[in-house]
Structure 1
Amino acid sequence: MKIAVVSANGKEGKLIVREAMERGLDVTAVVRGENRSDATQVIKKDLFDLTASDLKGFDVVIDAFGAWSPETLPLHGTSLKHLCDIVSGQDARLLIVGGAGSLYVNPKHTLQLMDASDFPDMFKPLASAMGKALEELRTRDDVKWTYISPAADFRADGARTGKYILGGEELPLSSKGESTISYADYAVAMVDEAVNGDHVRQRISVVAE
């Protein structure tokens, strides 16, 4: 299986590359500058300069792009649209490192996590930008996409246990009623989905056991 990891130099991107390579998968890092991931195969190109020919032949393209400053938040939507456009009609599946803010917190799916009264104000612009990108992604029936949301508490330095609970559109909770997952265990879930391909054109979520 051939996998391309876009934005492979990011914290999550590097862990996804490592997880995939440890399973013996054929991994290519897509990076804008010097490659800092474990991948030995590299496409050195800005995401917005990627073309359909760059990604031709890959079974899975994983989008690990992230933007955090107010002026760059709209890039969540424009970058995802660009990747969708260049894999449109191809066999490659597009897997997206998503956000938790757009997960629903009620059975009727009328209230999202980012709308809850205790959701931190500092994260609302990011959650809104990622939520809008997901809404636009849902309209694409020309791309084999899967959007994977982490639990509410997404821990960059958490341990890799190799275990997680798979959820759907609602905020996932552990057996202890908590909503946390480490970047490392999220990478496990991402590579599992890359290998299995069980959730095409679906948003799924993952939480630690």
Structure 2
Amino acid sequence: MKIGIIAAGGKAGHMIMEEALRRGHDVTAIVRHPSKINEDVKVLKKDLFDLTRQDLQDFDVVVDAFKAPAGEEIKFLTSTEHLVEILTGTTVRLFFVGGAGSLYVDDHITHLYETPGFPEAFKPTSTMMGRGLEVLENQDQLNWTYISPAPNFKPTGDKKGHYTLGNEMLMTDSEGKSEISYADYAVAMVDEIENNNHNREHLSVVW
């Protein structure tokens, strides 16, 4: 399968790239700084906002692992709008590394980022990622899947080799914890890419 990974030099994107390569997929790292990529993989040096339909239309799947810089959180929204614009009407399946703040904590009324006690520092990111998700939910000519990690998204956590896949509701374990490592999130992402069972759905992943 031909998979393009936007921001493959970042933590989440790099883990997803490694997992896809391990499984034998034809992977292209889409990055601004190729020096961050040390693996034997094809590289497309280009800023996300400069990507065109022609750049992406030959991929089976494009993964967006873009992380907007602090103070520029609106780029979570505008980058989503850009990808929607250039990929609508194509056969490309677009997968997003989502945010936990977009998960619901009740019956589709309150998002996690709207709850009392949600860290103020994370609200701009969560709000804009939530607005980007709303853009996707209004599309019926684009194949997309948005996967939110658990709130405790652990960059250096172990790869346990198992996970629980859920819908857009916040999941916790018997102790009230909601965790996933980047490594196991990557496993879940590539599983969904291969299985193609959840088109136009918002999913969540926890241990």
Q: TM-score range, shorter-chain basis?
A: over 0.9
Match of 1:58 in 2: 59
Shift in Å, 1:56: 2.1
Match of 1:45 in 2: 46
Partner residue in 1 for 2:129 = 130
Aligned residue identity for 2:46: K
The residue aligned with 1:202 is: 201
- Counterpart contact for 1:2–1:25, Cα < 8 Å: yes
Instruction: Tell me the residue number matched to 2:116.
Output: 117
Q: Distance in 1 between matches of 2:42 and 2:70?
A: 30
C-alpha distance after superposition, 1:87-146 (max 9, x if no partner) = 11111100000001111111x211111111121111111111111111111111111000
What CA deviation, in whole Å up to 9, does each residue of 1:46-96 have, x standing for no partner?
1111111111221100000011312x1010011111111111111110000
**What letter is aligned with 1:199?**
H
Paired position in structure 1 for 2:166: 167
Measured in 2, the distance between the counterparts of 1:196 and 1:175 equals: 29
Matched residue type, 2:5? V
Deviation larger for 171-180 or 47-56: 171-180
Report how far residue 39 of structure 1 moved: 4.8
Q: How does 1:1-209 map to 2 (within 5 A)?
A: 1-37=1-37, 38-70=39-71, 72-106=72-106, 108-208=107-207
Percent identical: 50
Cα pair distance change 1:203/1:50, threshold 3 Å: same
Which stretch of the first structure deviates more once superposed, 191-200 or 35-44?
35-44
Cα shift at 1:43 = 0.6
- Counterpart code for 1:100: A
Contact 2:5 2:28 in 1 (8 A): yes
Query: Is the 1:168–1:203 Cα contact (8 Å) retained in structure 2?
Result: yes
Distance 1:77 1:177, change over 3 A: same
CA distance in 1, matches of 2:175, 2:162: 15
4+ residue runs of structure 1 moved beyond 6 angstroms?
Answer: none
Amino acid at match of 1:68: P
Which protein is richer in helix relative to its size? 2
How many Å separate the matches in 2 of 1:58 and 1:100? Answer: 27
TM-score when normalising by structure 1: 0.95
Number of positions where the alignment pairs a residue of Structure 1 with one of Structure 2: 206
Counterpart residue type for residue 48 of structure 1: F
Counterpart CA distance in 1 for 2:163 and 2:172 is 10
Structure 1 residue ranges without an equivalent (≥5) = none
Q: Give the counterpart letter for 2:122 in structure 1.
A: F
**Alpha carbons 1:145, 1:201 under 8 Å: kept:** yes
Segments of 5+ residues of structure 2 without an aligned counterpart are none
